[in-house]
Every structure is written in structure tokens, then in C-alpha cells.
Amino acid sequence: MYVRRNYSFWMTLNWSRKPFLYGFVYAAAITAVHVFTPLNIVIPWQPLSVMGIAVAFYLGFKNNSSYDRTWEARKIWGAIVNNSRSFAATVMAYIKTDNKSEEQSIKQALIYRHIAWLTALRYQLRLSRQWEHVNERLNGMYVPTICEAYFNQLDHEIVTFIHPDELEQYKRQTNMATQLLATQSKKIKALKDLNYISEMEQLRLQELIGALYDEQGKCERIKNFPFPRQYASTALWTTLVFSMLVPFGLLGVFVESYWVWLNAPFSGLLIWVFFLMEKIGDYSENPFEGTYNDVPITSIARNIEIDLREMMGETDVPPPIKEENGFLM
């Protein structure tokens, strides 16, 4: 996620310069045909403006829908923050044994396994889907690579919180995050069997595990179900058709003056504005893909980890993740 106050003009232009350049060259070619040949290729601006209004409304619908997906993802991770703190606070308050060393070890194991769940979940959410902007990210055009280049670091990162043998067991499973929560449920039941927690305390902890399952499922729904392709495709093609007609319509505006060649820059500018709106919606559809417009789940998970480890009295906690060139992962 980009966290500075504004995108600079040059960042915005660099990100979306192709529509302007292509539009400028295309409009210049149309203008040249009109100036140097006897062909009359002017289109009345009035019907074209009606089409432009329709395209603008459709782009607005697409952008609103894309924003809803991003905002829902952020609300889900807000709930994960709250439930994580509640789970750790409940573990610290409920579990009591006669052996303080054993008690601390049990609490640490449960909380560390929860941090491992956060780690596994965010890695899974960063894996690419075919409808996401994989090539741009892997080529470093917009942001550093996140999932593919760093996925081999999952073992190294998660083994800090769980035993290597337990990790090997999860690696044979399809969904590591799901299995981590399943293990948490088994461990909590075992604590009840040992009378380290009461039945009511067990139910409360299981309720929090269920809430975490709910939030994971919501994340996976957004990740694995793309913004409907018919809406995304229609926005792209209607914008393209409208852009192809723009130089013919603006030509009728400028042909009556001596500034007919202004058709090229103004057409390029108008085409750029429409494609910029289309690209904003396009890059907001997938809030977990790791581009400038996504939800910074790595940073959120790190902040949760800091909170939970400080609840246990640890002082050697990792620092919060800082932005890099305005980007927060």
C-alpha cells in the first residue's frame, strides 16, 4: 500500500503514460490524414460525448466495486487484529498451572502458533492468481516482488514460532493456515482434559478460533474469486472503443481554427484520463496481490506479533515494518 500523502504527478504519469503516448500518436496520425488528404473523417462531437458519459458512468461503477473489495479486505484484517489480541489476552488470563514455567511455556506455544498462523495466511494470500498483475510485479515495474520471490522464506520465518517437526507435518497439507488453527483447537481441548482451563474457558477460546476461521475464509473468498470478468472486460473494451473515436470527434472542434494540430495532445490527454480511471479500478480489484493499492497485510501481521509478544512480557520484539519508497507491504 502506498502510504505517503499523494502520488506525485510524475509517478502517476509514469504508471499510466502508455495510453497518453499511444493516444497522442494515434490522434496525430488521424489529424495528418485529415490535413494531407481530401478525406473528410470528422465525427460530430455530440453523439460521441453521449458515449463518453456512458463510459464514465460504467467506469465509476467498476471503481466503486473495486474499492468495496479493497475496503472489505481491510475490515477483515481489522477483525483479525481484534480477534488476535483477544485470543492472546484470553490465553494469558485463563491458563493456570501449579508450575509457572510450564504455564508460561503453554501460553507461549499457543501464542506463537497463532503468530505462525498469521505468517502462513499472509504468504498464502500473496500467491499469484492468473487474473492478477503478475508480470508487472515480478518485473519490478511498480513494486518489489513479494510472493514468488519470498515464498521460499516461509519455512525460515515460520520455524521461529513452531517446532520443525510440526512444520514438516503442515507442509504436507494443502492449507497450512487451516491446519494451524486445527492444531490450536486440539491443544486447547488437551488443556481442558488436564484441567488447566474450565469448560467455559475452553468454549471461549474455541469461539475465538472459530472467529479466526471466519476471517480466513473471508480473505480466501476475496483472493480466490476475482472481480467478475464480464464487468472488468466491458470497462476495458468500451474505454478502448471510445478512445479510438475521440480524435475524430475532437477533430471537428479544432478543424474550424488554425490549431488543428492541437487535436493530437488534447485527444491524448482525454484518452489518458479515461484509461487512468480504468486502470485505477483494475489495480484495486485484488487487495492481496502486493501492488501499491493493496492491503499491507505484512505490516499488519507484524504489528499483531509485536502486541502479542509484548503481552507475554518479551522485550526483544521485532520493530514495525517501515515504508520503502512510500510502499508498505
242-255 pLDDT per residue, tens: 999 999 999 888 87
The model's confidence at residue 150, banded by pLDDT at 50, 70 and 90, is low
Mean pLDDT of 6-19: 84
Residues 6 or more apart whose Cβ sits within 8 Å of residue 16: 272, 275, 276, 279
Whether pLDDT at 291 is above 90: no
Q: Which residue has the higher pLDDT, 226 or 9?
A: 226
pLDDT greater than 60 at residue 29 = yes
Q: Which of 59-68, 153-162, 247-256 has the highest mean pLDDT?
A: 59-68
Q: Decide if pLDDT at 135 tops 50.
A: yes
- Residue 209 has what pLDDT? 97
pLDDT at 144: 47
Query: At residue 138, does pLDDT exceed 60?
Result: no
- 131 contacts: CB under 8 Å, gap ≥ 6: 226, 227, 229, 286
pLDDT for 146? 53
C-alpha distance from residue 40 to each of 32, 78, 265, 266, 267 (Å): 12, 59, 21, 20, 18
Long-range CB contact pairs, 216-219, < 8 A, 24+:
216/121, 216/177, 216/178, 216/181, 218/72, 218/76, 219/73, 219/76, 219/77, 219/121, 219/125, 219/288
Q: Which of 309, 300, 286, 305 is nearest to 328 (CA)?
A: 300
Looking at the chain, the whole-number percentage of residues with pLDDT higher than 70 is 94
User: What pLDDT is attached to residue 127?
Assistant: 87
Average per-residue pLDDT for the chain: 89
pLDDT for residue 137: 57
Q: Of residues 183 and 40, which shows the higher confidence score?
A: 183
Domain boundaries, the chain: 9-311
| Percentage, residues of the chain above pLDDT 90 | 66
Report the pLDDT value the prediction gives residue 145, as an integer from 0 to 100. 52
Whether the per-residue pLDDT at 85 is higher than 80: the answer is yes
**pTM assigned to the model:** 0.89
More confident residue, 257 or 26: 26
Model confidence pLDDT, tens digit, residues 63-81? 999 999 999 999 999 999 9
